[in-house]
Every structure is written in structure tokens, then in C-alpha cells.
Structure 1
Amino acid sequence: MGAPGRVFVRGWPTLGGVATLILLRHARSAANGSGTLAGRAEGVGLDDTGVAQAAGLGGRLDGVPVSSVVVSPLRRCRETVASWVSGLGLEPVVDERLAEVDYGEWTGRKIGELTEEPLWRVVQQHPSAAVFPGGEGLAQVQARAVAAVREHDRRVSEEFGPHAVWVACSHGDVIKSVLADALGLHLDGFQRIVVDPCSVSVVRYTETRPFVVKVNDTGGDVSGLLPPKEEQQPSSDAVVGGSAGAVRGG
């Protein structure tokens, strides 16, 4: 049971003074379908499955009052949000810090081949120490992505108010690194998180901690993506004793 005046909705504490972040992975790309590590290779767009996923994005997010959309500069992310964002009348903000991992010499190679590389075991078991030959390290990726997300979250909150919703469209490993940070996981645990193509994950940052509301959601229920109602009181406290579901009041 919450403290007097505290309101809980759908299993997570109502929070104020912060926006709601929807982390959207791009829809399935041609590289995803062929088992190739696309990285930052030019010209990698969506395959037929990805095009269908992107076309359904508007329906999935219908009713979610999105105020801002930030995207990776890579084609597959821009294609994922293009039609949906146009329908919202928004201009996407491109941020290089949300770009795919720079896999360096691994870029464009088959995943099946990469599993034979000695570095593969490091990527799987000790990713915080993984630095791709000629590319960047996963710890660098997390640092830039988390910095970008928190900066945009503050911007959206200041510009559109504490109940705003915004979307960041990025890549699997980038989103996993942001979620690991939000969950308080060491980066070495980020391989335990699954982020499928065109999935959404939801994070709300507060003064003391982030709250992870959804992870890897590919369905159509948007209720968990909606911001708290304006009359709800701000709190950085977590629910003690577990969730009571969609309960209002103490």
C-alpha cells in the first residue's frame, strides 16, 4: 500500500518532473535477415519484413502523445520512423550518439564467421572489455548513448513538460546498453537483455533513479507507454511490497 496521496498505475510508481522515453529498435534490416553484422555500413535498409513492421508502427503507437523523436543517422532507423513521424507532423532529431556500434573490421562479416573469433567470447562474457578491431569499445558505446538519452530527456521535459513522451530510435546493442544502465546492471550483464527489431522499451528517469517500465515489447498494448496524469504526484520512490496492478490511491 502506498503512502497517503501516492498514486500507482499499472504496477509502477507515478513520477513527476520527467518525461517518458520510448526506446525503439529499428525494424528488421536486410542485414538482420542475412545474418550479417551491418554496423555502420552505408545503404543498409529494411527488408520486406522490416517494411511491414515499420508500416505497423503508427497503429501500435496510436494514442501515445509523442512530442519528440530522436534517431540514429543510419538508414534503417530513418526508414523505420519516416512514415510514422511524417503523420505526426514532427521533424526527427538526428543524433550521432545513437548510431550503431562501430564494429570496425567486423563490419559486413557474417555472424557465423565471427563466432570463431577469440573476441567473440569476450563480447559474450565480458563485454565491458570488448573493443572491436579498428572500431570502438562497448563501454564507449554505453557512455555516449546514455549521455545522449539523458540530455534529450532533460530537453524534452523542459520544452514539453514533465508528462511528455519522446522516442529514441536506435540499434540493438545501443539500446541494450542504455537499458543495462537504467536497470543498474554492470555492462557485463547487458547480453541478458533481449531487444528485437521494432520492439519498444520504456524508461522514466527521476532525480534518484530510472524506472524501467517495459522491455522488448512487440505488441499493440500502449497503456504502459502513456505518461502519468498531471494530477499525480512526483516521486522517485519504488513500490514496497510489489505491484497492486492498476490501483489508484493509497
Structure 2
Amino acid sequence: MATVLLLRHGRTTANADGGLAGRRPVELDDTGRAQAAAVGERLKAVPLAAVVTSPLIRCRQTLDIALPAAEPHAEDGLIECGYGEWEGQPLKKLAKDPLWPVVQQHPSAAVFPGGEAMADMAARAVAAVRSWDARVTAEHGPHAVWLACSHGDVIKAIVADALGVHLDLFQRIVADPASLTAISYTPTRPFLLRLNDTGGDLAGLVPPKRRRARRPKAASSDAAVGGGGGR
């Protein structure tokens, strides 16, 4: 199967102000635009077979800056969690809400008033990424790399699935603005190749050159005993 780069959008005005944006049309601030430009320079090293994005404007702005030549496909499955009545509220205020400890300690049981259950968010995000990964693999081969631009909690949920851990542990995962997380899916298991990477060299993710006479091999599901020698 292919490899997906999960890109969180750059910093927004809501991030800077300590608010919960949710699905509101908040935009990147100056820092977020600079972050998008920086990640775009890093992504020049990797040929992308496809670019997919949450339909929210902060993700589209990130891609407009980072990958101006790309033609992203909008994917509703990657949209931010529906926080309902929590959207637009300061995080300091939300921390006093009785639902806050549930979100922190037992997110699989959290249902936002007037919004979405975190478990539903995780399920549709994972389904979207796995569906797109299968599509990219079918069209471009098992060594293809593609990119999905989304949101912090969405990316954390996808990572939790890849690691095989319960959603209640996903708050241990961090996805900073403009960070890259790489997951390689195989027939048996996913491999987490990068997590919350905000400055590393991406050359190791470049797919190998194809030999015309040979059919590309599927990615192995076997883990390297002892850790392996790297890519």
C-alpha cells in the first residue's frame, strides 16, 4: 500500500488566541502562513501522487501556500471534529466544562452538545484515509506517496488507529501546526514512519525509482527485527 503524509494546517488566529475554531472559517495568521511556506519547501523533495484536504479554509490556505501547483481533492471525511456549542469558545473556559475531563480521559465517550461524537470523528477520518490510500495504491502503485491536509484531533485519531491503540489514548499524541506525520499502510499493518515532524529531512520518504521491466513489489508487512537499517 502507499504512504500518506498527514499535514496539519498552519497556525490560525484561533490557535493564537487560545480559542477552539472547530468548523468556523478561521484563517491562517502570519505565523501560520510562514509555517505553510516552510513545509512547502520541505515537500519539494517528495513527489506526491495525490493531494487531499479537509474543505475548511485554513487547510486550503495552507496548501495554496505550500503546494501552489497542486489540485487538492476536498474530502469531507477529513473535516475538523464537530465541536458543536464548544466552537468559538476560549479553551480556558471550556476547561471548566464537565465534559472537559471526559474529552481528556475518555474521549471515546465524548459527544459534543450540538456536535459530533469523537468516536464518530475518528471512524470517518480513518475510513477516508484508508479509502484514499487504497485508491492511490491502485492508481500509482504501492510505493506512491500522497498527502492529506487536516486538523489536530483528526490526525491524532488516524495515528491512534495506525498504532492500534484505543481512542482513549489518543490525547498522548501531538500534532502541531504545519507538522507532518507519515504512515505507510501494508496488507497486515500500518507503520508509523514520522510523527509531528516540523523540520526533518523528507528525502527518506521519496519512493524508489521504478524499473520498467519489473512490476513494483507490494510493501512488506513484516517489521524489521532489531529495528532495521532505515530507509
What TM-score do you get using the length of structure 2 for normalisation?
A: 0.94
Q: How far does residue 121 in structure 1 lie from its aligned partner after superposition?
A: 0.2
CA distance in 1, matches of 2:72, 2:227: 38
Q: Can you list the C-alpha shifts for 1:134-182, whole angstroms capped at 9, x where unaligned?
A: 1011100010000000000011111112221100000000000000000
CA distance in 2, matches of 1:224, 1:137: 37
Q: How does 1:220-235 map to 2 (within 5 A)?
A: 220-228=200-208, 230=210, 233=217, 234-235=219-220
3-state SS of 1:197 partner: coil
Give unpaired runs (5+ residues) of structure 1.
1-17
Whether the 8 Å CA contact 2:33–2:65 is kept in 1: the answer is no
Whether the 8 Å CA contact 1:85–1:92 is kept in 2: the answer is no
Q: Does 1:179 align with 2:159?
A: yes
Alignment CA distance shift 1:204-1:94 (3 Å): same
Q: Does 1:240 align with 2:215?
A: no
Q: How far does residue 78 in structure 1 lie from its aligned partner after superposition?
A: 0.3
Q: How far does residue 54 in structure 1 lie from its aligned partner after superposition?
A: 1.0
Higher relative contact order (CA 8 A, sep 6+): 1
Q: Identity of counterpart residues, as a percentage? A: 60
Q: How many residues align?
A: 226
Q: How far does residue 244 in structure 1 lie from its aligned partner after superposition?
A: 3.3
Give unpaired runs (5+ residues) of structure 2.
none
CA distance in 2, matches of 1:32, 1:46: 9
Whether the 8 Å CA contact 2:47–2:145 is kept in 1: the answer is yes
Alignment CA distance shift 1:67-1:245 (3 Å): closer
CA distance in 2, matches of 1:169, 1:178: 12
CA distance in 1, matches of 2:138, 2:229: 31
Q: Does 1:74 align with 2:56?
A: yes
Partner residue, 2:46: 64
Aligned Cα root-mean-square deviation (Å): 1.4
Partner residue, 1:6: none
Whether the 8 Å CA contact 1:71–1:95 is kept in 2: the answer is yes
CA distance in 2, matches of 1:227, 1:161: 10
Q: Can you list the C-alpha shifts for 1:58-96, whole angstroms capped at 9, x where unaligned?
A: 211122011110000001000000133323xx3100011
Partner residue, 1:91: 71
Q: Does 1:20 align with 2:20?
A: no
3-state SS of 2:191 partner: strand
Q: How does 1:91-130 map to 2 (within 5 A)?
A: 91-130=71-110
